[in-house]
Amino acid sequence: MKLTDTHAHYCDSWFTAPETPEQPYEKILDELLGEGGELEAVVNVATTPDNAVITLRQAHRWDKMYAAVGIHPTDCQLYADPVSELDRLRPMLDAARENKIVALGEIGLDYHYDDTDREKQRAVFAAQLEMAEEYDLPVILHSRDATGECVDMIRAHPHVRGVFHAYGGSVETAEELVARGWYLGLGGVITFPTAKRIRRVAAALPLDRILLETDCPYTAPEPFRGTRNHSGLISRTAEMLAELKGMAVEEIAVITSTNAGKFFSFL
């Protein structure tokens, strides 16, 4: 069974900090991505221009690891002028193929916290959608408490394709996204006992547009919730999706890995 983790953050300090008590992430990835490993590919997603450098370095270490670079909405607040920080991504994107960059991400809107600067987030999101068009790359979208506005932005950029990461919207919105050529990302949340609504939505989504993801080191699936997540735990999410679709998990693996290959055009 070969699954693809389309959304991981190995640049996160939970993985890279030297004092981390868990097994070194390099060892985990050597096993998962090595010969006979369980994974087809991993997309390693940056959240700032600073950790994008780490993300690219990591993608060079494993054949089957690819990279996405961008500024995450909640990381906009780290910079006085985040739009001008995007220029630091340009040298990386100019050599996208050599850097194994397959998408712009993680980008979007996150209105969960009241103290966030929404104007700043909107400006950075819009600028990155334009960069995606310029570099002809798909985007990895993060939306929290902002689905309506994100969908408006998607409508305003009809030439940009993307994946709606951690999809939790309605079936109707999913249908519109699919019609616009978008994909829907599902992660460990679908295994949480309380996530009944998301499971109902997941069961109704078209399988040929679903991408599986971990968002590791965060959102570990049951029964590992709260611990450091990693790409190997994606099998739990695949098993849940198989149950929801009434299919074998091996079939789910083949279909979702094929979707990921089509969407990201891995080289």
- Candidates 75-83, 153-161, 208-216, 234-242: pick the segment binding Zn ion (CB under 5 A): 208-216
Helix (H), strand (E) at residue 61? helix 49-61
Q: How many angstroms separate the Cα of 56 from the Cα of each of 36, 45, 66, 139, 254?
A: 24, 9, 8, 17, 27
Instruction: Specify the DSSP class assigned to residue 167.
Output: -
Closer to Zn ion at the Cβ: 55 or 259? Answer: 55
- Judge whether 25 and 15 are in contact, CB under 8 Å: yes
Minimum distance of Zn ion from residue 213's CB (angstroms): 8
Burial state string for 203-229 with b = 16 or more CB within 10 A and e = fewer than 16: eebeeebbbbbbbbbebbbbeeeeebb
CA–CA distance, 139 with 150 (Å, rounded to integer): 12
Closer to Zn ion at the Cβ: 40 or 215? Answer: 215
Closer to Zn ion at the Cβ: 217 or 232? Answer: 217
Minimum distance of Zn ion from residue 48's CB (angstroms): 12
- Closest to 199 in 3D by CA, of 189, 210, 184: 189
Closer to Zn ion at the Cβ: 45 or 137? Answer: 45
Minimum distance of Zn ion from residue 83's CB (angstroms): 21
- Judge whether 9 and 214 are in contact, CB under 8 Å: no
- Candidates 95-103, 172-180, 210-218, 224-232: pick the segment binding Zn ion (CB under 5 A): 210-218
CA–CA distance, 134 with 90 (Å, rounded to integer): 11
- Candidates 12-20, 119-127, 174-182, 207-215: pick the segment binding Zn ion (CB under 5 A): 207-215
Instruction: Specify the DSSP class assigned to residue 161.
Output: -
Please list every residue from 101 through 120 that binds Zn ion, using CB under 5 A.
106
CA–CA distance, 129 with 127 (Å, rounded to integer): 6
Instruction: Specify the DSSP class assigned to residue 229.
Output: P
Closer to Zn ion at the Cβ: 45 or 253? Answer: 45
Closer to Zn ion at the Cβ: 1 or 39? Answer: 39
- 75 contacts Zn ion (rule: CB under 5 A): no
- Count of residues of this chain found to bind Zn ion when the rule CB under 5 A is applied: 2
Residue of the chain from 215, 234, 241, 263 that contacts Zn ion (CB under 5 A)? 215
Interface contacts to Zn ion, rule CB under 5 A? 106, 215
